Amino acid sequence: MAFHVDLAGVLFIVWGGLITLIGLSTLALGVGATSVAASPSSDGQFAAGVIAAMFTTLALIAILWGAAHIAVGLPLRRHRHWSRSAALMLGAVDLLLLPYGTAIGCYALWALLHQGGRKLFTERP
């Protein structure tokens, strides 16, 4: 069962990295929309400002979400006690992110709620 918990940790790290990259690219779109909103010759300054705020907000949420997955995935591979609870919470929310988040969430929940997965976090060396 240790293999499955380690794999769930790796999947959390990879998923977090991909989500962070998506957040950074969305942030670049927000910066571009901000420059359009700031230009004096633009007719759609208000719309560009709204779009810039939306892109920036979504980007920050994605960056934080990805960083949370990385921050939980690394200690999950080391079987830290607190990382199991954090991974269960992140995995439960990931179920809503179709299709890849659902797959990662299901796998993480299965690996961490299985009796063998629980033992890894309760035994002390």
pLDDT in tens, 39-77: 887 677 888 889 999 999 999 999 999 999 999 999 999
* Confidence category of residue 118, pLDDT binned at 50, 70, 90: confident
Place of tokens 């208000």: 46
**Among residues 11, 1, 3, which one has the least CA distance to residue 94?**
11
> Where in the sequence is the domain holding 40, given as residue range(s)?
2-122
pLDDT in tens, 84-97: 999 999 999 999 99
pLDDT at 94: 95
For the chain, what is the domain count?
Answer: 1
pTM above 0.85, yes or no: yes
**Among residues 15, 36, 38, which one has the least CA distance to residue 106?**
15
**Are 87 and 12 within 8 A, CB to CB?**
yes
**Cα 58 to Cα 64: distance, rounded to the nearest angstrom:** 10
pLDDT at 85: 93
Can you give the three-state secondary structure of 60-122, one letter per residue? HHHHHHHHHHHHHHHHHHCCCHHHHHHHHHHHHHHCCCCCHHHHHHHHHHHHHHCHHHHHHHH
